[in-house]
Chain A
Amino acid sequence: MARHAQLLEQYIPHLRRYARALMNDVEHADDLVQETLTRALGKLRLWRINSDMRAWLFTIMHNQFVDEFRRVQKRPDRKSLEDDGVQEPVSTANPEQNLRIRDIEAALRQLPVEQRAVLLLVSLEGLSYMETAKILDIRIGTVMSRLHRARAQLCHLMDGAPTGKVRSIRSVK
């Protein structure tokens, strides 16, 4: 059990990265990770040894995210998770780099959350279609169609120049 808990800890950075990209808000994202870990630790004994712990954790996180998302949607008094302002990018020396960064974030936010999740699991977390399908509890065909739509939309939003220079998102709308 202790070893399992240690095993779990090594995935925290990945959970955080995915959550950050999914929610685009540091605080919400870390809350999501924290809740995911709390849930995971609470049912660590349900985790089957030799099964993929990373996929298991992402599954818990996804369910948590969906719960939270639905809950927030039902509460008109609270800002939707989707409505939060774009996080100011961490300052870097290169202004063009900043532009790029803001734009991939902004572009991600244009995607429906279902597509965003698929894209991030595959392209950022490097999970297979099969793993992604299991985590999101959808068919592989759905993974592929969402991935296709997500990438098509992003290509539309970003002009894909090798420098990473992108058009203003607003002008595309």
Chain B
Amino acid sequence: MSEPINPVSDYELHAYVDGELDAQRRSEVEAWLAINPEARSRIADYHLIEDELHAHFDPVLYEASYIETRPHKNVTASLARAAVMAGAMLVSGFTGWSLHHLTDDVVASPALQDLVRPAAFAHLVYAADQRYPVEIPAFQQASLNNWVKQRMHTDINAPDLSTEGLTLIGGRLLPSTNRMAVQFMYEDNNHERITVYVRKVDDKNIATEFRYVAEDQLQVFYWINAKMGYAVIGDQPASRLIAVANAVQASFRI
């Protein structure tokens, strides 16, 4: 350090601590520090503050986070939705956020609000349920179909998806926004589940082609036809889900 050293300002001491100096100035400051014990002690203090901050607040990084499961105090419409969904997803981690994102995206369309969101929500609630995933099990399929027919006043039978390697577990009726909906649940050999969700869509003008919304792991394939909305939901790869959705669509066309 033979070159002359420019005076080191207060701010430069901070910049030194925070790694904001270039290599040249850094070594100059170090040389200057070597002969300035007072400045060295200030720098030690700055480091100490940093250490204290980390010692105190770093544990937050590793804390279990309940952010996604806690209802919010300042409930706005979107937060209320998030909270309602999150409440049912204690185990599924951040899927709630992804789903919330999804609903934000599709929120503009009432049909999608009536179909996509409740379908995805119902999937999250029941597909994760090991004990009571369905209300009427597959071995009572006739009762299930009959029940759906009576309550929803339409002939909706659980599609046979055995060609897709899916076994019907059963189904249930669900309240949906201002309507009833039916959810059929299927399982593959790996016990991974896919649900099929069907309900009336009030706006008769709406008819959609096959569409899907994919967010993280959860995917919703849906279409609306003749005032009926259909959705196929799962966290399988899109290629797999779309094959299933095609089979479902074909079975309801018949």
- On A, residues with C-beta under 8 Å from B are 1-2, 5-6, 9, 12-14, 16-17, 20-21, 30-31, 33-35, 37-38, 41-42, 44, 90, 100-101, 104-105, 119-120, 122-124, 128-129, 144-145, 147-148, 151, 154-155, 158, 160, 162, 164
Within 33-53 of B, Cβ neighbours of A (below 8 Å) are at: 41-42, 44-46, 48-50, 52-53
Q: Which residues of A contact B52 (CB under 8 A)?
A: 100, 104, 158, 164
List B contacts of A37 (CB < 8 A): 67, 97
Q: Which residue of B lies closest to A156 (CB)?
A: B45
Decide if B101 touches A5 in the complex (CB within 8 Å): yes
Q: Of B55-63, B137-145, B200-208, B241-249, which binds chain A?
A: B55-63
A94 nearest CB across to chain B (Å): 11
Bits for B67-110, please: 1 = Cβ < 8 Å to A, else 0: 11010111000110010000000000010011011001000000
Determine if A104 and B56 form an interchain contact, defined as CB atoms under 8 angstroms apart. Answer: yes
The answer for the CA separation of A157 and B142 in the assembled complex, in Å, is: 76
A148 engages B57 (CB within 8 Å): no
Decide yes or no: A21 and B57 within 8 Å by CB, A42-B104, A148-B11 being known contacts: yes
Alpha-carbon gap, A1 to B212, bound state (A): 14
- Interfacial chain B residues near A1, Cβ < 8 Å: 101, 215
Which residues from A are CB-within-8-Å of B72? 31, 34-35
4 residue pairs, one from A and one from B, having the closest CB atoms? A41-B101, A104-B52, A160-B45, A13-B61
For B79, the closest partner residue in chain A by CB is: A38
Q: Mark B160-184, 1 if CB is under 8 A from A, else 0.
A: 0000000000000000000000000
Chain B residues whose C-beta falls within 8 Å of the C-beta of A31 in the assembled complex? 72-74
Given contact pairs A41-B97, A148-B10, A34 touches B70 in the complex (Cβ within 8 A): yes
Q: Is the CB of A9 within 8 A of B14?
A: no
